[in-house]
Structure 1
Amino acid sequence: MDRVKFNDALEMSRLVYGMWRLGDDADTSVDHIRNKISACLDQGITTMDQADIYGGYEAEEILGTALTPELRNQIEIVTKCDIVAPAGRYAGAKVKHYDTSRAHILSSVDHSLRLMKIDHIDLLLIHRPDPLMDHHETGSALDEVVASGKVRAVGVSNFRPWDWELLQSGMKTQLVTNQIEISLLHHTPFTNGDIAFHQKNGQPPMAWSPLGGGALFDTKLSGLHGALQNIATEHDVEIAAVAIAWLLAHPARILPVLGTNNLDRIARIGDAAKIQIDRETWFDLYTHALGHEVA
């Protein structure tokens, strides 16, 4: 499995296991969680993606119950903060909102460390752009958690280039990644400047929902589904692997985040790294996704 270096303190596996559905599984036992992590490690997938809000603010704790010091030393943990929803520890919130204040960021980091029973977070992301963000306060808080050793590196999620630049202007620490929605069914980041911005600045983006929330498996998308299936059959893999290989082929060094609770599917995540998508094949899939040939 290829690895991506973000800075001197952080290196992650090219494929990332997303844990947003961890609490939705009928089996959240320690052994089952460990089996999921082991299935990832067997393929060289060492990076686990969390967020404080996942599972109604419970997914981090579910992961924490399964971590041993030995297991923790084999993985990188990504988590996120700033979404406050009326659930879990924020059940009293009047309305779902974002909070990028210093107090909230510091509190969120401490909650995440305690719930996952770890002494540092490898990568902390601001989950959503906050219209009320004071970039000096937020930036200073992110600098602070890095300086304290509680966080190794920081980044953002769902930010546009101007949101990124605003926050970065209030920081000493360099933001290292932006986790955005990218897939064959959500391909606008390839043309709206999002990926170009990060590629230009050498910041590998992370891709959430790289399978379009499962919509890529819909046979009603006859042209795209058929094109994916033909390649999958040729390589003896599932179409999911082809769709992820399509993202891996891009020079921006995209890191797809894949989440499933099915152990068999987890064990096949790494198949995407075995497929080489050439330029014409990439554009063939892109053409089907667009619904028309490129201009």
Structure 2
Amino acid sequence: MQRLSLTPDLDFSRLVYGMWRLGDDSDTSAAHVEAKIQACLDQGITTFDQADIYGGYQAETLLGAALKANPGLRHRMEIVTKCDIIAPMGRYASATVKHYDTSRAHIEKSVETSLREMAIDTIDLLLIHRPDPLMDHHETGAVLDDLVKSGKVRAVGVSNFRPWDWELLQSAMSARLATNQIEISLTEISPFTNGDLAFHQRLGTHLMAWSPLGGGALMSDQGKLGSVLDEIAAGQGVDRAAVAVAFLLAHPAGLIPVLGTNNLERIGRISEAMTVKMDRETWYRLYEAALGKEVP
């Protein structure tokens, strides 16, 4: 599978397996989690996306159980995780309100917890999960730099940041922010027009695209967009998901879709998106259907 370079010493597979639903499966055993990982590795998908909050702060633990059972898997994977969201559940059940914490103390504690829960020595990519209105960019930038220097984290980035949030944090750092993980799909096309995608394309930053299937909405769409997806999919012998992901892959910015499912059969078909032929007119047919009107 094609790979993209986020930093001089960190490459990702072009498709990423998202583990946000790991704790929702009826089978959360280490063996079943390992089966999902292996199904990805068999396709060349080596990058796995986590966050401390996923599964009510349990998804990292589930991944860790699989890695403890088969330590050899770790050397074939790149692991992404995120921090700064505190929700009143799990380890933060005593919190009185959902909030963000980008303080040095919280980020350092989160990293130590993630390393322990996932049974790993280094996080390949740490992301600040959400922009924090109370972020002291000097403090946050300094701790991210220190984590990279310590070797506990290979690279750092952000998630759901707008260009001005990115620039503020980057201004206080010596390390280069490696990526921004944002929502982008045929049901969330605003990054194509609001400047987010253009901003990162100018910087040469490969964006990670979360919810590339619109949270599943694209798979059940009964309107014009669903019809166009079905027509293209039928013509190329794939399903809607492959076409929707190929739409993102075709963009010259080098987007990195993050796909999550607990179904082993669907996991085994994730890489079919790489086979879809997406010429300019096909891309614009999908874009027009997503817009609900022809382009100006």
Query: Quick check: TM above 0.5?
Result: yes
* Match of residue 186 from structure 1: 188
Contact between 1:227 and 1:285, CA under 8 Å: does it hold in 2? yes
Query: Residue 141 of structure 1 aligns with which residue?
Result: 143
Q: Distance in 2 between matches of 1:288 and 1:5?
A: 32
Q: Report the TM-score when normalising by structure 1.
A: 0.99
Q: Could you list the per-position Cα deviations for residues 230-253 of structure 1 after superposition, in whole angstroms to 9, with x for gaps in the alignment?
A: 111111111100000000000010
* Cα separation, 1, equivalents of 2:59 and 2:50: 7
**TM (normalized to structure 2)?**
0.98
Q: Which residue of 1 aligns with 2:82?
A: 80
- Measured in 1, the distance between the counterparts of 2:179 and 2:262 equals 26
Count of matched residue pairs = 294
Q: Secondary structure at the match of 1:100?
A: coil
- What is the match of residue 101 of structure 2? 99
Q: CA RMSD in A?
A: 0.6
* SS of the residue 1:173 aligns to: coil
Contact 1:77 1:122 in 2 (8 A): yes
2: CA distance, partners of 1:219 / 1:18:
22
Structure 2 stretches of 5 or more lacking a match?
none
Q: Give the whole-Å Cα distance in 2 for the aligned partners of 1:208 and 1:89.
A: 25
Amino acid at match of 1:44: G
- Which stretches of structure 1, 4 residues or longer, exceed 4 Å deviation after superposition? none
Stretches of structure 1 that go unaligned for 5 or more consecutive residues are none
Q: Which amino acid aligns with 2:47?
A: T
Quote how far apart the aligned CAs of 1:30 are: 1.1
Tell me the equivalent position of 1:158: 160
Contact 1:9 1:153 in 2 (8 A): no
1:209-220 aligned at under 5 Å gives the runs: 209-220=211-222
Instruction: Name the SS for the 2:76 alignment partner.
Output: coil
Work out which of the residue numbers 156, 171, 174 in structure 2 matches 1:172.
174
Structure 2 counterparts to residues 1-295 of structure 1, below 5 A = 1-67=1-67, 68-220=70-222, 222-295=223-296
Report % sequence identity: 68
State the secondary structure of the residue aligned to 1:73: helix
Taking the aligned partners of 1:281 and 1:88, their CA distance within structure 2 comes to: 45
Paired with 1:127 and 1:9, the residues of 2 have a C-alpha distance of 23
| Offset from partner CA, 1:105-153 (integer Å, 9 cap, x none) | 0000000000000000000000000000000000000001100000000
For residues 153 and 34 of structure 2, what CA distance do their matches in structure 1 show?
24
SS of alignment partner, residue 245 of structure 1: helix
